[in-house]
Amino acid sequence: MSRCWAWPVRARHSRQTELKAGSKIEKPEKTPIGVIGVGWVGLVTAACFAELGHPVFARDVVEEKVASLSRGELTIYEPGLAEMIERNAERLEFTTDIELVLGRAQLLFVCVDTPPTYSGDADLSRVRSVVADLPADSDHVLVMKSTVPAGTGETIRRDLPDMAYVSCPEFLKEGTAIEDFLNPDRVVVGATAEDADAAEAVAELYRPLGGEIVMTDTSSAEMIKLASNAYLATRISFINEIANVCDEVGADVGEVARGMGLDERIGPHFLRPGIGFGGSCFPKDVNALKLLAGNSGYHFQLLNSVIEVNELQKRRVVSKLSRHLGSLVGKRVALLGLAFKPETDDMREASSLVLSARLRGEGADVVAFDPVAMEKARTLLPGVEMKDTALKALENSDAAVLVTEWPEFREIDWAGAAATMRRPLVIDGRNYLDADQMRGAGLTYEGIGRPGVGTETE
Ligand code: UGA
């Protein structure tokens, strides 16, 4: 089936047979891939397909981004990505020229972002402009990686009758995106019966990676993506509430999660409590699903609670600090980690944004350190004093809050750090540090939902 999409592409349009001059990639052996939108998803998708031996033509409208990527300079941080791009430079072409992509590849992976609008619904304007860039009689295959509301594919399909449409949502996690791409749990491929050939061609690309291929209809594929993210977010809010109860009743949420997770029906994943989920996906997708339901006349009650619990969770640390320090006015609080999770510099919807604003609202002086996100954080957190190292952030502080579980925070000489702090108090927002070790180092240590573990040495 994949031969339909192999080089040269089906010659229905002259644009597809007249290969553009100036492309560095000559006749390839594997199916050429077009990637439209070279943000984080697009870049990982482009790099991984190139790694699998496909020639990839990746297009973005932002000229500076294309220029720096063509020089091998990345604008985002994702482990292993820069090396992968360098390794596959000869198979990867970055361009602003949509015609070049249309002429070279028939499978077009759409990876533009769909951020929330003021109404909270997904903003589909970038998806629409991709569609508008295609000739009305295009017979390309639009493979939608961007997260879109269920029903979007059907609408696009109606507008472009000659083109095939396949929904292939992405399930990559920031920080482990390459591993996730190359070892998928499952690949979801949704299309109408009319586009079965196109769906099969997409499935064929992913088959060598293993992982179940879920062939389904377009709207179900779109729903699988939203429902997966909303469910994972629900698990996090659930375990956060359990942690809050553990704080009250003296149980250890780590033990509770372990005991729950051993039940095969529950499983161990996404039961880590903390100071709330963030990032560009969970907050946006939970809300988008809630609104999608609402716009269709259904009130998705559970998701309201998932969102509310998450918002409150980001603030709970403030009351934990107040219990130890009394008024926070003039108190110096060090934030360790600012990114929404480790191994990324992504600050979107990071808990650190809400937490630092709340702390400053209470009159605290906030200092912070993050191994990679500081440059981005500087503009987002203008009143927060950034320090070059964790130790410098801890110096003279009245308390530290571990916000992001970067491995290097486990390597800190905590006894040495405690000696430089005004008050050796650490609130571990991710239950990441060893409570006994912290206590042994002379610190007052408190986690989330484990009151009996290493607390109260003051
Ligand atoms: C998430 C999904 O996990 C991916 O499958 C999906 O492809 C992606 O969204 C997307 O839609 O693009 P990501 O946002 O990169 O991936 O990050 P996660 O690792 O899922 O973490 C999200 C947030 O939940 C982080 O703030 C993390 O600290 C928090 N989290 C995660 C918890 O608080 N507890 C957990 O047990 C797990």
- Are residue 116 and residue 199 in the same domain, yes or no? yes
pLDDT at 21 over 70: no
Q: What is the CATH number of the domain that holds 409?
A: 3.40.50.720
- Are residue 20 and residue 140 in the same domain, yes or no? yes
- Are residue 210 and residue 287 in the same domain, yes or no? no
- Are residue 291 and residue 430 in the same domain, yes or no? yes
Residue-wise pLDDT tens digits, 123-171? 999 999 998 888 877 789 999 999 999 999 999 988 888 899 999 999 9
Peptide linkage before 161 cis (omega within 30 of 0): no
Nearest to 31 by CA among 47, 49, 48: 49
Residue-wise pLDDT tens digits, 411-452? 999 999 999 999 999 999 999 999 999 999 999 999 999 987
* Cβ atoms of residues 441 and 414 within 8 Å: yes
Domain boundary among 169, 201, 216: 216
- Are residue 24 and residue 157 in the same domain, yes or no? yes
Q: How far is CA 313 from CA 85, 98, 306, 309, 318, in A?
A: 38, 44, 11, 6, 10
Instruction: Using the mean position of ligand 1's atoms as its centre, give its distance from the Cα of residue 368 in Å.
Output: 23
128 domain residue, yes or no? yes
Residue 281 among the catalytic residues = yes
174 domain residue, yes or no? yes
Domain boundary among 178, 198, 216: 216
- Are residue 47 and residue 190 in the same domain, yes or no? yes
Nearest to 139 by CA among 163, 157, 120: 163
Domain tally, the chain = 2
Decide whether any atom of ligand 1 lies within 6 Å of the 173 Cβ: yes
Domain boundary among 190, 216, 242: 216
Instruction: Using the mean position of ligand 1's atoms as its centre, give its distance from the Cα of residue 451 in Å.
Output: 26
376 domain residue, yes or no? yes
- Rounded distance, CA 272 to CA 268, Å? 9
- Are residue 335 and residue 206 in the same domain, yes or no? no
- Are residue 322 and residue 198 in the same domain, yes or no? no
Question: For a substitution probing ligand 1, which of 225, 277, 285, 313 has the most ligand atoms within 8 Å of its CB?
Answer: 277
Residue-wise pLDDT tens digits, 29-40? 799 999 999 999
Name the closest-CA residue to atom 20, ligand 1. Answer: 173
pTM of the entire structure? 0.91
Q: How far is CA 279 from CA 147, 276, 338, 368, 440, in A?
A: 14, 10, 12, 19, 34
405 domain residue, yes or no? yes
273 domain residue, yes or no? no
The closest-lying atom of ligand 1 relative to the alpha carbon of residue 430 is 33
Decide whether any atom of ligand 1 lies within 6 Å of the 272 Cβ: yes
Residue 135's pLDDT is 84
- Are residue 320 and residue 439 in the same domain, yes or no? yes
- Are residue 22 and residue 158 in the same domain, yes or no? yes
Question: For a substitution probing ligand 1, which of 44, 282, 311, 404 has the most ligand atoms within 8 Å of its CB?
Answer: 282
- Are residue 169 and residue 311 in the same domain, yes or no? no
242 domain residue, yes or no? no
- Rounded distance, CA 300 to CA 293, Å? 6
458 domain residue, yes or no? no
Mean pLDDT (whole number) for 282-286: 94
* Cβ atoms of residues 449 and 247 within 8 Å: yes
Task: Give the number of other CB atoms < 10 A from CB of residue 419.
Answer: 12
Helix 301-325 crosses helix 351-361 at what angle (to 10 degrees)? 50
- Are residue 347 and residue 208 in the same domain, yes or no? no
Per mean pLDDT, which range of 10-24, 195-209, 288-302, 345-359 is the poorest? 10-24
- Rounded distance, CA 313 to CA 449, Å? 12
Decide whether any atom of ligand 1 lies within 6 Å of the 5 Cβ: no
Residue-wise pLDDT tens digits, 230-267? 999 999 999 999 999 999 999 999 999 999 999 999 99
Residue-wise pLDDT tens digits, 39-89? 999 999 999 999 999 999 999 999 999 999 999 999 888 999 999 999 999
Residue 25's pLDDT is 58
The boundaries of the domain holding residue 358 are 282-446
256 domain residue, yes or no? no
Q: Exposed/middle/buried for 63, CB within 10 Å: 0-12, 13-18, 19+?
A: exposed
pLDDT at 455 over 60: no
Decide whether any atom of ligand 1 lies within 6 Å of the 181 Cβ: no
Amino acid at 129: S
Name the closest-CA residue to atom 2, ligand 1. Answer: 173
pLDDT at 375 over 70: yes
